Amino acid sequence: MCRWMAYSGNPLPLDFLLLEPQHSLIDQSLSSKMAPKPTNGDGFGIGFYGRNHEPGIYHSIQPAWNDGNLRDMTHHIESSLALAHVRRSTGTPVQQSNCHPFRYCEWLFVHNGLIREFDRLRRDMAFEIAPELFPLVKGSTDSELMFYLALTYGLRDDPSAAMERVVGLIERCARREGIDNVLQMTVGIADSETLWSFRYSTERSSRTLFYSEDMGVMKEMYPEDLRGHAFTEKSVAVVSEPVGKRPEHWLEVPESSVVTVRNGQVAIRPFEPASA
């Protein structure tokens, strides 16, 4: 059910973040340890802020572990804020438009988890999207609809409040349809400066999510010889499951909360679905 990783800090080549660590995100595409199933081979995507405010995206329908361009592309792109995602489809087709991150102007969005019995809620969710945003939906995933609902509900002003409204809507629709435990989500959202990371599920037993408190944890992702020239005090990572050989040094994002990272500062606040 997908794995993702976000990085905020000094500019680094993407391969250093995604390929070189031990048990890296790309390794997790082949054999994740904490996901319900180990293989996340139904495509992947990388979003990164580089030359300007609008982020670049690379989407592939190949598994990340065998994509022929991944190493070269990530080696030649540096970023100070990036989101990467390896996908395990829960039923929708393997196509680039279903790969995360989704993008709207300077915003990026990744999701791990699912909406149970999504087919029964899809139309109500789609209807609620602002008409001017509706034509931008290109794929068929629950995740993409969540993103456009968040944009409809004010993501650009307050991502946390917008996501609380999105989850409130999904849970109300689910109650009406009699669907239990409708939502599992860890979500990463970024604009060009800030990273928001959400961990929530209707059943309050959410998929794992971790963050690094200090750059020491991140340095431990690497063999000795790669540690010197990398992270600064302001480097923070958020990951579905720990990267590196010291998983115990990562901090768990608390249940039902949102972590905000900006300029090296980490803030954690409770996440509460909006009632209406």
Burial-class residue 72 by CB neighbours within 10 Å (0-12, 13-18, 19+).
Answer: exposed
Q: Which is nearer to its own copies, 42 or 191 (CB)?
A: 42
Binder of its own copies out of 105, 134, 158, 270 (CB under 8 A): 134
Binder of its own copies out of 22, 31, 263, 265 (CB under 8 A): 31
- Give the neighbor-by-neighbor strand order of the sheet with 78-86: 56-60, 44-48, 78-86, 3-13, 236-239, 210-211, 251-252
Report phi then psi at 186, rounded to 5. Answer: -115, 135
| CA 147 – CA 162 distance, rounded (Å) | 10
Q: Which is nearer to its own copies, 5 or 12 (CB)?
A: 12
Q: How many CB atoms lie within 10 A of CB 132?
A: 9
Say if residues 129 and 120 touch (Cβ distance below 8 Å): no
Q: Is residue 30 a contact residue for its own copies (CB under 8 A)?
A: yes
Q: Is residue 226 a contact residue for its own copies (CB under 8 A)?
A: no
Q: Which is nearer to its own copies, 62 or 256 (CB)?
A: 62
- Give the neighbor-by-neighbor strand order of the sheet with 194-201: 102-104, 107-115, 183-190, 194-201, 257-262, 265-270
**Region near its own copies per CB under 8 A, out of 137-145, 156-164, 214-222, 229-237:** 137-145
Report phi then psi at 209, rounded to 5. Answer: -155, 135
Report phi then psi at 274, rounded to 5. Answer: -75, 140
Q: Is residue 34 a contact residue for its own copies (CB under 8 A)?
A: no
Q: Is residue 192 a contact residue for its own copies (CB under 8 A)?
A: no
Binder of its own copies out of 10, 90, 95, 192 (CB under 8 A): 95
Binder of its own copies out of 11, 22, 33, 93 (CB under 8 A): 93
Q: What is the contact mask toward its own copies in residues 3 to 22, using x (rule: CB under 8 A)?
A: ----------x---------
Q: Which is nearer to its own copies, 65 or 104 (CB)?
A: 65
Instruction: Give least dist CB 229 to its own copies, A.
Output: 13
H-run or E-run covering 84: strand 78-86
Q: Which is nearer to its own copies, 130 or 265 (CB)?
A: 130
3-state DSSP helix/strand/coil percent for the chain, to nearest 5? 30, 30, 45
Instruction: Give least dist CB 148 to its own copies, A.
Output: 12
| CA 16 – CA 162 distance, rounded (Å) | 33
**Region near its own copies per CB under 8 A, out of 104-112, 129-137, 200-208, 240-248:** 129-137
Q: Which is nearer to its own copies, 137 or 251 (CB)?
A: 137
- Residues engaged in binding its own copies (CB under 8 A): 13, 30-31, 38-39, 41-42, 48, 50-51, 56-63, 65-66, 68-69, 72-73, 75-77, 89, 92-97, 118-120, 122-123, 126-127, 131, 134-135, 137-140
